[in-house]
Amino acid sequence: MSDVSLKDRFVEYIHALQDEICAGLEQMDGKAVFREDKWDRAEGGGGRTRVIADGSVFEKGGVNISAVHGALPKAMQEAFKVGESHFFACGLSLVIHPRNPFVPTVHANWRYFELYDSAGKKIDSWFGGGADLTPYYVFEEDGRHFHTTLKNAMDPFGTELYPAYKKNCDEYFCNKHRGNEMRGIGGVFYDYLRPVNEDDSERLFAFQQANGNVFLAAYLPIVERRKDISFGAAETEWQEIRRGRYVEFNLVHDRGTLFGLKTNGRTESILMSLPPRARWMYDHHPLQGSREEQMLQYYFPKDWINM
């Protein structure tokens, strides 16, 4: 077993994963490349933000890593139900907004958190993460491919995990203020996976790696199939309306966004997840019988493996 701490190994892993994912996305786009900004957090730690924009395939996206530490803010002390504490948090978070409405938006993150008492003793730690897909027009084979790829990565760690974490995702990435309408077609989501001992820490670290390592295999084949489909103003308008729902979720409900803002995170990196353009139309309803109206049925939980 390595003498290097788990948190240092996880930081090393997300650096390598960021390189791999960015290279795969740049190759798929064929035009745009990622801009990189390295930044420091005054309270401790920093990160490496990479943003892609105005590509032939990807209109905007980011693949960010961070490793930050310091005193846990009062708001988070209340949320975690702890007193004066310190924390360490690291992870990779990505959101990719494609240009073509027939290519889905994708989001993923994999993170690790440690909590320390005022004397510096570690009192808690956990893993969290997942990946989810937000299509504007559904091709059932794409949803089946995305979900099956994630399931296959999880199954070696327990066949009960995918159904449980798929359910978590369906319930989490949901705009409750919109009648429990999901922002996309889900994927997997898990949080507060606490190791019970050192061996369990290794198992959970391997689980995180398995999930991160299949991201490109889950997403890029879908992009390849859909990126050259012709589209017009009507499809772009619908894409922008659904992007509005994406914005609503991220700013109202998303824990990662709220945690970053409450811990004095780098605002530009946090709000990288928002699309370049979105639309809100008062009391909008798609035309009866249209592809857009048919799409609404997919924004609720489905068994994508068996579609």
Catalytic residue IDs: 107
Q: 58-71 and 45-53: which strand pairing?
A: antiparallel
Q: Which of 188, 181, 131 is nearest to 158 (CA)?
A: 188
Q: Is 1 helix (H, G, I), strand (E, B) or coil?
A: coil
What gap in Å lies between CA 90 and CA 250, rounded to an integer? 19
> 277 Cβ partners below 8 Å, 6+ apart?
240, 243
> 285 Cβ partners below 8 Å, 6+ apart?
293
Task: Judge residue 179's burial from the number of C-beta atoms within 10 Å of its C-beta, 0-12 exposed, 13-18 middle, 19 or more buried.
Answer: exposed
Question: How big is the chain by its Cα radius of gyration, in Å?
Answer: 19
Long-range contacts, stretch 33-39, CB < 8 angstroms, 24+ apart:
34/63, 37/268, 37/269, 39/266, 39/269
